Amino acid sequence: MSAPANPNPPEPFDAVDVIRAKRDRDELSDGQIDWVVDAYTRGVVADEQMSALAMAILLNGMSRREIARWTDAMIRTGRRMDWSGVGRPTTDKHSTGGVGDKITLPLAPTVAACGAAVPQLSGRGLGHTGGTLDKLESIPGWRASLSADQMLGVLRDTGAVVCAAGDDLAPADKKLYALRDVTGTVEAIPLIASSIMSKKIAEGTGALVLDVKVGSGAFMKDVESARELAETMVALGTGAGVRTVALLTNMETPLGLTAGNALEVRESVEVLSGGGPADVVELTVRLAREMLAAAGVDGADPADALKDGSAMDVWRRMISAQGGDPDASLPAARETHTVLAPADGVLTSLDAYRVGVAAWRLGAGRTRKDEPVQAAAGVELHAKPGAAVRAGEPLLTLHTDEPARFERAFEALSGAFVVAPEGSRPDLPPLVIDRIG
């Protein structure tokens, strides 16, 4: 008589051995990577063990082969989406996060108006960087959670959908990201690249444009580390059969004139109406052209779609399809406070990170993953670097529902801007620093 099968067969690897290998700067084998990602998702590898491995990866890095295998292993913990029934080529954009980065809001409908389909799975803000879903949820009635069938329906009807990723899309990443956030390992480039690309590849889009932010308000503070991240992600996407390019873009100063949820929606609607800040329009058009080229869609110019109202038409349909009212008034803060220019002169710098922290402290961001945000909180800019200012004129307006938050926001803004004598010429980096792919 044969023995019954073991209901709990032994694991093929030991977590401590995998940790030691990376600690000692060895390359992990394909088998080790496949196992540790799957075992962590199943709960066999404990949080403290994966924390140790993540720190070893942060300190010692990974080869391109290891990163590609790690990314694939995370994808295989969940499902891959399929948009073959949409009827037009699919293309998407991902930003590594910044202050005032509302580009997805005007970008998705603009690209859809030009003939491509945009299935955009977005996230929420954490810390000083804003989240697309938080911004859109300031629109009355709009909902972020859609089933796969609902997402497909919105995409077919409007050409663009922006929603939350389901729990079955790269679930290993959701668990690992939460761990990295509390263990000081968010900055590990191999883990950043695999986190972003596992979700984007699983999302099933045919083409992808990456907006890799560089500067004080970004996770990547210098061009060299941003370029390393961009090259790694482009290689991952290309290797997975997704046409992928990346732009390195400036995040030394906030994008546009607002940082906050409803404030950024308002500004995005201005862009879709043919106006809005020049830098937001410029980056929207540049990224849209890259997305359309990667998707193989020719003929339509995104700049025209913003001017002729066709992008706005898609926006209104897209918001309505997800329960939102595009005509509803956006929330307004109960309290405001204006920061005045201290002297006549030229605004030569405005630090994106400090502005982002101020918006966060006013209630626009969260310190914990499930913490609510204030829809109306944030910072409004009345001048950008290079502009002439006069003493006593508004420089920034702070918005919040809770006046007790002003003090800590003022602390964050200490040293955030410099007003130099008249005639000064600030050294402003270009909005688009480089293109990779």
Q: Fill in the DSSP letter of residue 360.
A: I
Site of tokens 């706005």: 312
The one catalytic residue in 22, 69, 93, 94 is 94
From CA 401, how far away is CA 250, in angstroms rounded?
31
Q: Fill in the DSSP letter of residue 117.
A: B
Three-state SS for 191?
helix
The one catalytic residue in 34, 72, 101, 173 is 173
Contact call for residues 276 and 107 (beta carbons, < 8 A):
no
Confirm whether 399 is a catalytic residue.
no
Site of tokens 């050409």: 159
Tally of CA atoms within 13 A in the half-sphere of 233 that contains its CB:
35
What are phi and psi for residue 424, nearest 5 degrees?
A: -70, 145
Confirm whether 195 is a catalytic residue.
yes
Amino acid at residue number 382: H
Confirm whether 316 is a catalytic residue.
no
Confirm whether 414 is a catalytic residue.
no
From CA 175, how far away is CA 111, in angstroms rounded?
32
The one catalytic residue in 51, 95, 122, 195 is 195
From CA 311, how far away is CA 316, in angstroms rounded?
9
Q: Is the dihedral of CA 298, 433, 351, 122 positive or negative?
A: positive
The one catalytic residue in 93, 175, 180, 243 is 180
Confirm whether 222 is a catalytic residue.
no
Residue 141 φ/ψ region, left for φ over 0, alpha for ψ in the -120 to 50 degree band, beta for the rest: left
For the annotated catalytic residues, the residue numbers are 94, 173, 180, 195, 199
